[in-house]
A and B are shown apart, each in its own frame.
Chain A
Amino acid sequence: MSAMAVRVGRRGGVGLGLVAWLAGIVFFLPIAWMALTSFHSEEDAATNPPSFAASLTLDGYREFFGADGGASPWPALINSAVASIASTLFVLLLALPAAYALSIRPVKKWTDVLFFFLSTKMLPVVAGLLPIYLFAKNAGLLDNIWLLVILYTSMNLPIAVWMMQSFLAEVPVAVIEAARVDGARLPTILARVVAPIALPGIAATSLICFIFSWNELLFARVLTGVVAETAPVFLTGFITSQGLFLAKVCAASLVISLPVLAAGFAAQDKLVQGLSLGAVK
């Protein structure tokens, strides 16, 4: 009887495994279809019923990269890279000391400070958009990628402080005290005791900050023009062109999502830690 129970259980397991596979395929289907369409000609991309087995071509990608005299996406991609990487570095530079002062050597009322940081995340971006726009216009910072770097830093800093705080809170205070009693100075303690425990958290924080900066559209659309335009803005401008453009749109969407897809797939666990503000270890 127990053998039968095991068999039934296993059959149920296989069935649910199939359901899981089916769900995975359904969720992935739009992306798979986008990838396939990006390798089709525009004529084959716009048929009903869909042409699954149409011949493959790189024309969509060639066109996206400006082969037909269109604008090259490279400046926008480089702008996005600058904005994402620079703002992530700034976030770390500001968040690490702040998290230190909220966990390892906490200031008084450190929870209040922590909640202040999170509360700024709940202020809608649009509420400050106009003054920022007016300020940028008067200061000559419109269409300047460094303005986005500053704004993206402020956008991601609260999340980063929360995450780093929860990671640094893992560092046992007793070990730090012991190192201090042994005569270790602060830089040594930071490098030998704090850093090894904090590094996975720093990686998770960086990943999340990078993704959110890379994805951002509203600030970039309002505050940049031809010079500092980022990849998402480039993408919105690119579809106003007439005629058949499905293959091109798919190629463009895929290329622009590639950095995020690659980073996210490579570090799935870090993604969870980051998205849960470090609450899920």
Chain B
Amino acid sequence: MTATTTAPVAAPDVRTPARPPATRLRAWATRAPLLPALIFMIAVTQLPFVATLVISFFDWNALYPDARHFTGLSNYGDVLTDPDLRRSVWTTVLLTVAVVLASLVLGLALALLLDRRFKGRGVVRTLLIAPFLVVPVAAALLWKHVLYNPEYGLFNGLLHYVGGPQPDWISNTPLLAVEASLVWQWTPFMMLILLAGLQSRDQQQIEAARVDGASDWQIFRHLTLPHLRRYLELGALLGSIYIVQNFDAVFTITSGGLGTANLPYTVYQSFYQAHENGLASAAGVLVVIGSIVIATFALRVVSSLFREEVSRA
């Protein structure tokens, strides 16, 4: 690897006989550019988490700061037996899985369509990217008021033309309403990654398969899909990282009502509105434990994604 090959090249420069200090110095010189970023990340992301862990052991309502006292694990008991919180765990899982899968499938279909030559391909690509470039709060407002509104929203307006029903979308299917708006925003993201994957295929190999009489489906199933696997995994991983933490859509479209409160919203609510610092922290710690379990799995996926690069470097 590079580390072992560059070190001997640099070694002859060291003229002083006291070699150990010099190599140590050199090691620190190599590390130095890394330190500001590392220290910054630890300070801003890890320290608050340690604080969260400490606070989670206290019974602490911000409105009664004098009554703060150590309670051990009781916050965790409360959180784990709280039906609202258990429900929000389930909601988070459902929301994330549904949105990631739906936008992956739609994104794949769109990428396959865009991988062909046709008139105005560039324009269509631009039209398809647009939803991802609308600020998430604005997109949520757009869906809530301009599209879903039962009286004058666009959906019911269009249904009106064909004499269809006039459903109250958000009240009838709240979680689906949130999911649909997120799928609309994240499909372009998946499409872009998968399109890049499609365009990096080995065209000669595909031509050869075609000459050998392979059908379009066989080429897709046995050549394209295996090649796309790492791109699908990358899309799923990055999509999950952002959708698990989604706050904007839930906050704007339903304000967490009607069973759509996901974990980020529930934690936000328990300290921002209920001022239950201890409970909120315990919930936060549990969110982190859950994330670590998922992340360990996910990181294994990523490390396989990047193995090629690692071995090359």
Contacts and interface: CB of A to CB of B under 8 A. Distances in A.
Interface string A34-47: 10010000000111
Given A103-B313, A271-B192, A30 B147 contact: yes
B145 A124 contact: no
A83 interface: no
A122 B241 contact: yes
Contact of A20 (B118, B141, B271): B118
Contact of B48 (A131, A166, A239, A260): A131
A218 interface: yes
Given A48-B160, A135-B48, A222-B268, A108 B133 contact: no
A33 B154 contact: yes
Interface stretch (B70-78, B167-175, B181-189, B201-209): B181-189
Nearest to A122: B295
Interface of A: 13-14, 16-17, 19-21, 23-25, 27-28, 30-31, 33-34, 37, 45-50, 94-95, 97-98, 100-103, 105-108, 110-111, 113, 115-135, 150-151, 153-154, 157-158, 161, 166, 169, 173, 177, 211, 214-215, 217-218, 221-222, 231-232, 235-236, 239, 245-246, 249-250, 252-254, 256-257, 260-261, 264-265, 268, 271-272, 275-277, 279-280
28 contacts: A16-B118, A17-B116, A20-B116, A46-B151, A97-B33, A97-B37, A98-B36, A98-B37, A120-B45, A122-B294, A124-B263, A124-B264, A124-B291, A128-B45, A129-B267, A217-B247, A217-B248, A245-B145, A249-B142, A250-B146, A253-B141, A264-B133, A265-B130, A268-B125, A268-B126, A268-B192, A271-B129, A276-B238
B30 A101 contact: yes
Interface string B219-249: 0000000000001001000100100110110
Interface in B150-186: 151-152, 154, 156-158, 160-161, 184
B130 A117 contact: no
At the interface, is chain B mostly helix, strand, loop or mixed? helix
B135 A257 contact: yes
B211 interface: no
A253 B141 CA distance: 8
B280 interface: yes
Contacts of A123: 45, 49, 288, 291
Contacts of B251: 217, 221, 236
At the interface, is chain A mostly helix, strand, loop or mixed? helix
A169 B267 contact: no
> Which 7 A/B pairs are nearest by Cβ-Cβ distance?
A17-B118, A97-B33, A128-B48, A253-B138, A131-B51, A24-B127, A98-B37
A27 B187 contact: yes
A135 B48 CA distance: 9
Contacts of B34: 97-98, 101-102, 107, 113
B134 A31 contact: yes
Contacts of B238: 275-277
B124 interface: yes
Interface of B: 1-3, 6, 9, 27, 30-34, 36-38, 40-41, 44-49, 51-52, 55, 109-110, 113-114, 116-121, 123-139, 141-143, 145-147, 151-152, 154, 156-158, 160-161, 184, 187-189, 192-193, 195-197, 200, 231, 234, 238, 241, 244-245, 247-248, 251-252, 263-264, 267-268, 271-272, 277, 280-281, 284-285, 287-288, 291-292, 294-295, 298-299, 302-303, 305-306, 309-310, 312-313
Contacts of B47: 131
B245 A126 contact: yes
A214 B136 CA distance: 10
A24 B52 contact: no
Centre residue among A13, A100, A123, A236 by max chain B CB count within 10 A = A123
Contacts of B36: 94, 97-98
A34 B291 contact: no
Contacts of B120: 21
A272 B147 contact: no
A252 B141 CA distance: 10
A276 B235 CA distance: 8
Contact of A257 (B31, B133, B197): B133
B287 A13 contact: no
Centre residue among B126, B133, B135, B299 by max chain A CB count within 10 A = B135
Contacts of B27: 107-108
A260 to B, nearest CB: 5
A88 B121 CA distance: 32
Nearest to A235: B137
A25 B37 CA distance: 43
Contacts of A261: 130, 133-134
A280 B124 contact: no
